[in-house]
Amino acid sequence: MNVCVAGKNNIAVEILDHLIANYPEHNYVACLHQNDSGINSFQRSFKKYCELKQVQTLTLEEVQGLENLIFLSLEFDKIVRVEKFKGARLYNIHFSKLPAYKGMSTCALPILHNQKYVGVTLHLIDNGIDTGDIIAQREFLIGDNTDAQQLYGKFILEGIELVKENISELLADTVSSSPQPAKNASYYSKYALDFSNLQIDLNKTAQEIHNQIRAYCFPAFQLPKVFGHSIYRSELTDKKRVGKTGTVMFENGFYLTINGIDYQVQLFKDRVGELMDYCKQGDFEGLLYFAEHGYDLTQRSKEGWDALILAGFNGHLALVTYLIEQMDWNVNTYNNNGTTFAMYVMTYASKQNTYDLFKYVLNLSAVNWDIPDYSGKNIFDYALIYNNQIVIDLLEAKRIPSAY
């Protein structure tokens, strides 16, 4: 049987990886999203994964010519016409609980509309837009402070699980489905929101302002701006409006307090660039200053670097110790390419011939030394590449199972 996974991001990567590992008897091909650059970002590149795994990539037209085909659309960007396929079975994952929110902007619109629950849907593909019969769904709660990027990540995770739950039946052609109801259906086109010209309407309730900020916060691509400041999160307060709606009642280096129609809302300024610089430079006082003012130290750069990765890569033992021992940081954190904190520390030790930080990390029981990056290499493979014998000996002295 021919199985085509068409789409992008972690959902396409993880489902194809799952299929190859668990159903090796089939022939697998991929169809790529047109915007996939082959570079990992906040989500993995499906194109890069296919190159690494030597999976054949085809155009949609080439896929349409395949016989005995199962077609899985997972964040695919092209219109699929059923009649152009040779009797294929066509399935799609849509990021909403259909029949609601057919179409686009499903990470932003439910937040703007103050929805409490959303879902993901596995459905048959027909010639409509997300109108095919429903096979299965998963529903989940949107947190009060969840932003659009966080919701997208949740959609990805829930979508992966939904496909995995039903994949055996999809392959065996034993799934059942039911038509979508007309009641409570909604559709939004790509023109419903203009992400190139985001405007925050401050003449709204505090909740509505808060929802706008959350809906437009997608740090991998954009942040909303208010009075010239990029805003990365917001919080409702219990303080009633004092004065004119939309005016700034308080401002410091970290946040603005603004009047809504009813209550005040706090809008937090994005300063992630400064945070990353502190970690690169080992500026402990700067980091503490941000922490004392409630700044979110867990923010990441567009490369996926966090505070611990940057402190480790630049050899700042005091900063690393503070983050791990005082902030309970995840010592197995990794960047967009899957490069782990331990790999960065080992790289610093290997190149700089300085070992105090590496020895500290070697004694951390929570470190998983066998995690590979997305290219399949682990810390032992890179230790051999750098060929620093002291580093290699330190790894061996810990009696950690190695790849060499």
pLDDT of res. 287: 94
| CB 282, CB 316: distance < 8 Å | yes
Average pLDDT over residues 267-282: 97
In this predicted model, what pLDDT tens digit does every residue of 79-88 receive, in sequence order? 999 999 988 9
Average pLDDT over residues 291-303: 94
Q: State the fold for domain 2-188.
A: Rossmann fold (3.40.50)
> Where along the chain do the CATH 3.40.50.12230 domains lie?
2-188
| Band of residue 196 on the pLDDT scale cut at 50, 70, 90 | confident
What is the rounded CA–CA span in Å between residue 220 and residue 340? Answer: 20
In this predicted model, what pLDDT tens digit does every residue of 221-253 receive, in sequence order? 999 999 999 999 999 999 999 999 999 999 999
**What percent of the chain is modeled with pLDDT above 70?**
99
CATH of domain 294-397: 1.25.40.20
| Band of residue 399 on the pLDDT scale cut at 50, 70, 90 | low
DSSP 82: G
In this predicted model, what pLDDT tens digit does every residue of 159-180 receive, in sequence order? 999 999 999 999 999 999 999 9
The mean pLDDT of the chain is 96
**Number of other CB atoms surrounding residue 60 within 10 Å:** 18
pLDDT of res. 403: 44
**Number of other CB atoms surrounding residue 24 within 10 Å:** 8
> Where along the chain do the CATH 1.25.40.20 domains lie?
294-397
DSSP letters spanning 294-360: T--TT---TT---HHHHHHHTT-HHHHHHHHHTT---TT-B-TT--BHHHHHHHHHHHH---HHHHH
Could you give the count of Cα atoms lying within 13 Å of 141 in the half-sphere of its Cβ?
A: 3
| CB 301, CB 272: distance < 8 Å | yes
pLDDT of res. 404: 41
